Amino acid sequence: MLKYGTKIVAGVTPGKGGTKVNNVPVYDTVADAVKEHEIDASIIFVPAKFATDAVYEAIDNGIKLIVVITEHIPVLDMLRISKYAKLKGTRIIGPNCPGLIVPDEALLGILPPRPFRKGKIGIVSRSGTLTYEISETIKHIGQSTVIGIGGDPIIGTTMDEVVQMFDQDPETEEIIVIGEIGGTMEERVAKLKKEGKIKKKMIAYIAGMTAPREKRMGHAGAVVYMGMGTFDSKINAFKNAGIPVAKTPYEILELL
């Protein structure tokens, strides 16, 4: 993140206060860090057992954007965190996500910089590796902002929320949605487009075409229940909303 140009002003690791990493000061608590620095975002790399407390600590110290890389945070913990964050006016990206990047400006997370160039395409994705692959195929066009929202059942910011933000973003001209089986976020995006609430052109790709029914594939949120969240239901929802769907990641470039 430092190498990319992100302004990292502090790190927090209990017991390591007073040390430095890559010339960045480390503090024992978030409270100590915010006393010394102006901080508007926090990124959580804490193991799942302690991540919940780390997120609460960031929220309670007034940080308004929290990116949670950690996976395997218990579902009930995430339900509580999400509700608490909304009450406090904090936005959470993740958990179990690669983070977000504004090409040539800032990187928060573990996205590899190579596929990203400044442009006008907004990308929202449930998959980390597919994000990189699809970004690579369109890097000569470039991206405005790329957000990996995470693959868990309960996440802080949903796909439909990000799409609505892209629709309002003057830096974004077109939107790519990278979904997968499980959950109903993609169907909610399609509903917004069909109702005319999303004006910008959208292109979609859904992973999981060959996944066996009722089987969890990859992410914890990729579980299909009672016919909802299937590959076919998502594809049909997009097509009914007039959103072109790529059969492979490489077709996205053709559709653009």
219 is catalytic: yes
Q: CA–CA separation, 103 vs 91, rounded Å?
A: 21
204 close to 186: Cβ distance less than 8 angstroms: yes
* Cα 121 from Cα 118, distance rounded (Å): 9
Which residues are bridge partners to 78 per DSSP? none
| Cβ-contact 140, 193 below 8 angstroms | no
User: Distance from CA of residue 18 to its chain's centroid?
Assistant: 32
Q: How far apart are CA 123 and CA 63, in angstroms?
A: 24
Distance CA 144, CA 211 (A): 32
Query: Catalytic site residues?
Result: 219
